[in-house]
Amino acid sequence: MKLKSRLMTGEEMSRALRRIAHEIIERNKGANGLALVGVHTRGVPLAERLAGLVEEFEGVRPVVGKLDITLYRDDLTEIALQPVVKRTEVPFDVHGKSIVLCDDVLYTGRTARAALDALVDMGRPAVIQYAVLVDRGHRELPIRADYVGKNVPTSRAEVVKVKLVPVDDEDGVELHEVDG
Amino acid sequence: MMATVDIEIPTPARERKRNLLDFADWSVAEVQALFETADVMAQVLTRTIKKVPALQGFTVGTLFFEDSTRTRLSFERAARAQSADVISFAAGGSSLSKGESLKDTLQTIDQMQADLYVVRHPAAGAPSQIARWTDAAIVNAGDGRRAHPTQALLDAYTFRQRFPGFDDFRGKRLAIVGDVMHSRVARSNVELWRKLGGEVVLCGPPTLLPPQVAPGVHRSHRLAEALEGAHAVMTLRLQHERMASSLLPSLAEYVARYQLTERALAGAHPEALVMHPGPLNRDVEIATEIADGPRSVIHAQVANGVPVRMAVLYTLLVGKR
């Protein structure tokens, strides 16, 4: 896999996240009853980051949850002899909450579909919205994001790689090409 | 999720097949991963909707050639909690009693196209034999005196979950008391506990202990000595048919020497856990005050059976897909 281009620097990512945080506050008329749920792996630091920004702008920190959607997937792209399932930690009642589902890349929409199933199994949120850092197209399901950091037209042979502290050692978004 | 490129890797089902017959071909890391998956499954079972679609479209067959209620129930619950379909076969009243061979029976059942069979059989090695006749994955749910790996997994999982300040199995001592000789539960526990790095002490009258034991496994005929410093104590049901075959002089003598009581536990680790694979005979191998006491994790063992078996089914089936 080789690097084709840098789609976002750490600074650009930071600006996009600040904008998304403002949009979330505007759309939900504040931060009351707001919950951010990150999808493992990189949706989790994204949700944390957005929660911090909402707190900075509104003085109220939304509750944050982590969602592992492995048990809800229909594609199981990572076929391994020993599949790894991570913990889901949603330490609040989702009932009646305004939930913003956070993920790094929106691609086929299958992860979002699985995440929606996982969330509604926990209760009945008032509303579920969807925030992504990068929308790269190629949807296979009728799913769209409410908040998008950057729209990036890609080919299927490309891989969008999001790097987020603390999962990675720096912030940034890169476009890679699969060899051959 | 990071975006990944879908690459179709056509792999025949046969090559992807994984069984749980015993722990011979399971690494420590794989067992630890099973425990971690079981943690997630346990969490699923605490939700309002105690079900996930992880195994939708898969069929799990339970083939019980020997009586069992709790193990079969536990596996069925584990399959259904992941949305798998379950088909059940019990030997009583089946064609087996009409003279059909095991192979013919299996090949007939196999036409139902289950993806995994949970097999219990009175003959040691029967699940391994069945594994050779089918493409479905096999989970051994007890074969003769040989192995009962999911029981050992749930015992170790319970220990890992309940022992205060647990870090790992190294230096942890498990004492197994009673009819070790005829117990597949004991055999599988010895195998797994040793694999994970723990020590094992077997205790019982000479007629009920195996004459030879693996390295790192100790034998003792004295209960107090066996329980000295033990972190977990497992008592086994005394099978009354052994009395008839004169392996034991008298029930009263066995109770006097080997019953797990408060006094017998005095030398064990202060936080030692008491386990029993069930069914238990109160005031025979275990005093009621101990079975119902604060150290007892007997109910936790049964409860943990479901998430542990969910993890086993998930790992074998999704790995196979």
Per-residue confidence at A77, pLDDT binned at 50, 70, 90? very low
The CA-CA-CA angle for residues A67, A31, A91, to 5°, reads 30
Q: Is B48 in contact with A69 (Cβ distance < 8 A)?
A: no
Residues of B in contact with A82 (CB under 8 A): 30, 33, 315, 319
pLDDT digits (tens), chain B, 321 positions: 444 445 444 444 444 578 999 999 999 999 999 999 999 999 999 988 899 999 999 999 999 999 888 899 999 999 999 999 999 988 765 556 667 788 998 999 999 999 999 999 999 999 999 999 999 999 999 999 999 999 999 999 999 999 998 989 999 999 999 999 999 999 999 999 999 999 999 999 999 999 888 888 999 999 999 999 999 999 998 877 666 677 887 888 999 999 999 999 999 999 999 999 988 999 999 999 999 999 999 999 999 999 999 999 999 998 765
Establish if B19 touches chain A: CB-CB under 8 angstroms. Answer: no
- Confidence (pLDDT) at B8: 47
SS3 state at A54: helix
- Torsion sign (Cα): B294, B299, B305, B307: negative
Residue B102 has which token pair? 């095991």
A39 and A145 Cβ atoms separated by less than 8 Å: no
d(Cα B84, Cα B59) in Å, to the nearest integer?
Answer: 6
Q: Is B321 in contact with A136 (Cβ distance < 8 A)?
A: no
- Confidence (pLDDT) at B13: 43
Q: Is B82 in contact with A69 (Cβ distance < 8 A)?
A: no
- Chain A residue with CA closest to B315: the answer is A82
- Confidence (pLDDT) at B321: 55
The CA-CA-CA angle for residues B69, B75, B76, to 5°, reads 85
d(Cα A103, Cα B216) in Å, to the nearest integer?
Answer: 49
Segment 31-50 of chain B within 8 Å of chain A by CB: 33, 36-37, 39-40, 43-44, 47-49
Q: Is A81 in contact with B18 (Cβ distance < 8 A)?
A: yes
Left, alpha or beta for B285 (phi > 0: left; psi -120 to 50: alpha)? alpha
- Confidence (pLDDT) at B1: 44
Residue B87 has which token pair? 């088909």
d(Cα B64, Cα B279) in Å, to the nearest integer?
Answer: 18
- Domains of chain A from N-terminus onward: 10-73+84-154 (3.40.50.2020)
Rg (CA), chain B: 20
Range A117-139 average pLDDT: 95
B126 and B65 Cβ atoms separated by less than 8 Å: yes
- Torsion sign (Cα): A171, A176, B2, B3: positive
Q: For residue range A31-75, what is the model confidence (pLDDT) as tens digits?
A: 999 999 999 989 999 999 999 999 999 999 999 999 999 899 876
Which residue in B229, B182, B169 sits closest to B201, CA to CA? B229
Does ipTM top 0.85? no
d(Cα B196, Cα B216) in Å, to the nearest integer?
Answer: 12
Range A124-134 average pLDDT: 97
d(Cα B117, Cα A88) in Å, to the nearest integer?
Answer: 29
The CATH architecture assigned to B13-147+303-320 reads 3-Layer(aba) Sandwich (3.40)
- Confidence (pLDDT) at A179: 78
- Confidence (pLDDT) at B92: 66
For residue A45, say if its preceding peptide bond is cis, omega within 30 degrees of 0. no
Domains B13-147+303-320 and B150-299 belong to one CATH topology:
yes
Q: Is B1 in contact with A69 (Cβ distance < 8 A)?
A: yes
Establish if B80 touches chain A: CB-CB under 8 angstroms. Answer: no
- Confidence (pLDDT) at A168: 93
Bridge partners of B156, per DSSP, are none
Residues of B in contact with A117 (CB under 8 A): 53
Q: Could you state, in order of their start, the residue ranges of all structural domains in chain B?
A: 13-147+303-320, 150-299
- Confidence (pLDDT) at B239: 75
d(Cα B186, Cα B180) in Å, to the nearest integer?
Answer: 6
B184 and B143 Cβ atoms separated by less than 8 Å: yes
Backbone angles phi, psi at A169, to 5 degrees: -90, -5
What is the domain class of B150-299 according to CATH? Answer: alpha beta
Q: Is A136 in contact with B3 (Cβ distance < 8 A)?
A: yes
User: Which amino acid would we find at residue B225?
Assistant: E
- Confidence (pLDDT) at B11: 45
User: Which amino acid would we find at residue A9?
Assistant: T
Establish if B2 touches chain A: CB-CB under 8 angstroms. Answer: yes
Determine which of A40-49, A146-155, A167-176, B204-213 has the lowest per-residue pLDDT on average.
B204-213
Q: Which of A77, A82, A122 is the closest to B6 by Cβ?
A: A77
Q: How far is CA B80 from CA B61, B74, B119, B137, in A?
A: 12, 10, 17, 17
Q: Which of B4, B52, B314 is the closest to A78 by Cβ?
A: B4
Chain B nearest-CA distance from A4, in A, is 16
Scored b (16 or more CB within 10 A) or e, A141-162 reads eeeebbbbbbebebeeebbbbb
For residue A166, say if its preceding peptide bond is cis, omega within 30 degrees of 0. yes
Residues of B in contact with A104 (CB under 8 A): 1-2
Per-residue confidence at A79, pLDDT binned at 50, 70, 90? very low
Q: How far is CA B250 from CA B231, B237, B253, in A?
A: 30, 15, 5
Q: Is the pTM of this model over 0.90?
A: no
Chain A residues with CB under 8 Å of a chain B CB are: 39-43, 68-72, 75-88, 103-105, 107, 111, 117-118, 121-123, 136, 156-157, 159-162, 178
DSSP assignment of B140-184: EEEETTTB-HHHHHHHHHHHHHHSTT---STT-EEEEES--TT-H
- The burial of B12, by beta-carbon neighbours within 10 Å (0-12 exposed, 13-18 middle, 19 or more buried), is given as exposed
